[in-house]
C-alpha cells in the first residue's frame, strides 16, 4: 500500500490517500481514471482555443468600454473529489494523488515522490545540505519550516497553550503529547510486557530493553547504549565536559537533568512525596526508588551472580565488581572511581573546598563544614 501526501491548497494538500496495487479491478479503475483525465485535458485545450477565437471576434466588433472588476475563478476542477484549482498544472499535480503516480524517484535510495520540489528537499538527506541557518546559533536546517520552529527557542515564542493547565508550547505536536498527561491516555502499548507509553518514540526506545539491542558503542570503553543521546551523555564522563552551569552557584553539570534537580537544592522544592512515610524528594526517580524500601521489590538482577537491587544505578555500580571498570576519572590526578559521588568527594581534595564566611577556614567535605558552622551558631547564640 503506497501512501501519498498532498502538500498545499494548489500543490500541497494535507489529506492522505492510499492506492492498492494488488487489486486488479481497482487498477483497471485507475487506468480509466487516467484516460478520463487525458480526455479532460483535451476538452480544456479545445475550450481554450474557442475562447481565444471568441476574444478575437469581440476585439473586431467595437463595444462600449464599461468599467469591470477582475474576478479570479477556480476553473479547473478535479473530476474525482471536486476540488478546484486556478491553474491546470496544479490540477495535474493533484491528480497524482488519485492515480498513485510518483514520477520523481531518488537514484540513491529509490524513494519516489509526486512533485519535483519534494525530491529536491529529500536529496538533502543524502548530501547533508542545510541551506537554512539560524542567525543566532548558526545551527543548520534542511527545510525552512524547521528553521522557523527552531527560532521559537530563541524568541521564547510559545503559541500553543494547554486549555487545562495553561502551560504553553512552541510546537503543536508538543502540546498534543502534553495533553495525554491530563487525559491519562497511553495509546502505545508494549507487546512483550504490560507497559504503555504516551508517545511512540518512548515505546520504540523501550522495546530495545527487551531486544537488548545496544547499537551505540563508546569508542573509549566499549559500553553499549540503546540511544544515541545516552552515548553522547556518557562521553562526557571521558571528556570531563560539564556544559550546564547553575545560575545560583558555580557548580556545573554534565547533564541538563542533573542541573534541573540541583536547582531545587537552592529553592528547597521537593514535589514528590511518599504516601507511606511522608518523605519528599526532588525528583520522581528518587521517589520510585524509595518506594521499593516499603515494598521490598528488587527488580534489577545481576546476570552474573544473581544479586538483586532496588535501583538500576546500584546494579551498575555492582557490575563494576565483575568488570573492574572505573568510568569516573579525576581530571587532575588520573585516579578512577566506580561511582560518580566518590569522584565528587575526591575532587574536593584538589579544590579549595568550602570556605567559612565567619573565620575563613576551608573544608573538603560538606559534613565537616556543617559541623564547624554549629560552633559559630553556638558562639553567636
Quick one: pLDDT at residue 352? 60
Question: For 121-165, what is each residue's pLDDT tens digit?
Answer: 787 777 777 778 888 888 888 788 888 888 888 888 888 899 988
| Residue 177: strand, helix, or coil | helix
CATH H-level superfamily of 1-34+79-129: Classic Zinc Finger (3.30.160.60)
Kindly indicate whether the domain formed by 237-350 is annotated with CATH number 3.30.1360.120: no
Tell me if 91 sits within 8 A of 78, measured CB to CB: yes
Q: Do domains 1-34+79-129 and 237-350 have the same CATH topology?
A: yes
Task: List, for residues 167-199, the tens digit of each pLDDT value.
Answer: 888 888 888 888 888 888 888 888 888 788 888
Say if pTM beats, i.e. exceeds, 0.75: no
Which three-class secondary structure state does DSSP give residue 256?
Answer: helix
pLDDT at position 378 is 67
Q: Which of 220, 181, 221 is nearest to 202 (CA)?
A: 181
Name the residue ranges covered by the structural domains of the chain: 1-34+79-129, 237-350
Centroid of chain to Cα 227: 13
Task: Please give the grid coordinates belonging to residue 299.
Answer: 527488580
Strands 354-355 and 362-363: antiparallel
Distance CA 129, CA 141 (A): 8
| pLDDT per residue as tens, the chain (381 positions) | 444 333 333 333 334 333 334 444 444 444 444 554 555 455 445 444 444 444 444 444 444 443 443 444 558 898 888 889 888 888 888 888 888 788 888 888 888 888 887 887 787 777 777 778 888 888 888 788 888 888 888 888 888 899 988 888 888 888 888 888 888 888 888 888 878 888 888 888 788 778 777 888 888 888 888 888 888 888 888 888 888 899 888 889 888 888 888 888 888 888 889 999 999 888 888 888 888 889 988 888 888 898 888 888 788 888 888 888 888 888 888 888 888 888 877 877 776 667 787 787 877 777 777 788 878 776 543
The answer to whether the beta carbons of residues 353 and 364 sit under 8 Å apart is yes
Amino acid at each position: 500500500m503506497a501512501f501519498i501526501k498532498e502538500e498545499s491548497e494548489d500543490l500541497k494538500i494535507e489529506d492522505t490517500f492510499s492506492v492498492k496495487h494488488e487489486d486488479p479491478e481497482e487498477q483497471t479503475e485507475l487506468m480509466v481514471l487516467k484516460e478520463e483525465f487525458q480526455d479532460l485535458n483535451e476538452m480544456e485545450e479545445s475550450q481554450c482555443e474557442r475562447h481565444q477565437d471568441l476574444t478575437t471576434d469581440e476585439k473586431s466588433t467595437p463595444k462600449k468600454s464599461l468599467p469591470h472588476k477582475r474576478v479570479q475563478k477556480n476553473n479547473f476542477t478535479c473530476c474525482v473529489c471536486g476540488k478546484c484549482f486556478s491553474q491546470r498544472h496544479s490540477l495535474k499535480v493533484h491528480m497524482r494523488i488519485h492515480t498513485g503516480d510518483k514520477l520523481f524517484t531518488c537514484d540513491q535510495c529509490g524513494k519516489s515522490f509526486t512533485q519535483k520540489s519534494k525530491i529536491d528537499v529529500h536529496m538533502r538527506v543524502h548530501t547533508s545540505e542545510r541551506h537554512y541557518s539560524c542567525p543566532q546559533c548558526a545551527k543548520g536546517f534542511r527545510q525552512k519550516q524547521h528553521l522557523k520552529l527552531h527560532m521559537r527557542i530563541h524568541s521564547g515564542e510559545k503559541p500553543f497553550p494547554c486549555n487545562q493547565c495553561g502551560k504553553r508550547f512552541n510546537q503543536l505536536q508538543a502540546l498534543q503529547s502534553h495533553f495525554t498527561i491530563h487525559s491519562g491516555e497511553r495509546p502505545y502499548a508494549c507487546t512483550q510486557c504490560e507497559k504503555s507509553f504516551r508517545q511512540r518514540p518512548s515505546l520504540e526506545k523501550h522495546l530495545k530493553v527487551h531486544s537488548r539491542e545496544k547499537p551505540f558503542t563508546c569508542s573509549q570503553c566499549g559500553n553499549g547504549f540503546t540511544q544515541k543521546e545516552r552515548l553522547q551523555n556518557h562521553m562526557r564522563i571521558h571528556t570531563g565536559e560539564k556544559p550546564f552551569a547553575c545560575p545560583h552557584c558555580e557548580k556545573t553539570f554534565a547533564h541538563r537533568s542533573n542541573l534541573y534537580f540541583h536547582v531545587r537544592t537552592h529553592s528547597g522544592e521537593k514535589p514528590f512525596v511518599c504516601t507511606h512515610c511522608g518523605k519528599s524528594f526532588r525528583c520522581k526517580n528518587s521517589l520510585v526508588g524509595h518506594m521499593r524500601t516499603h515494598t521490598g521489590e528488587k527488580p534489577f538482577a545481576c546476570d552474573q551472580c544473581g544479586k538483586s537491587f532496588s535501583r538500576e544505578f546500584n546494579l551498575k555500580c555492582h557490575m563494576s565488581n565483575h568488570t573492574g571498570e572505573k568510568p569516573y576519572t579525576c581530571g587532575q590526578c588520573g585516579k578512577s572511581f566506580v561511582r560518580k559521588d566518590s569522584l565528587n568527594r575526591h575532587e574536593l581534595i584538589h579544590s579549595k573546598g568550602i570556605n567559612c564566611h565567619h573565620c575563613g577556614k576551608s573544608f573538603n567535605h560538606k559534613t565537616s563544614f556543617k559541623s564547624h558552622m554549629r560552633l559559630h551558631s553556638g558562639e553567636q547564640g
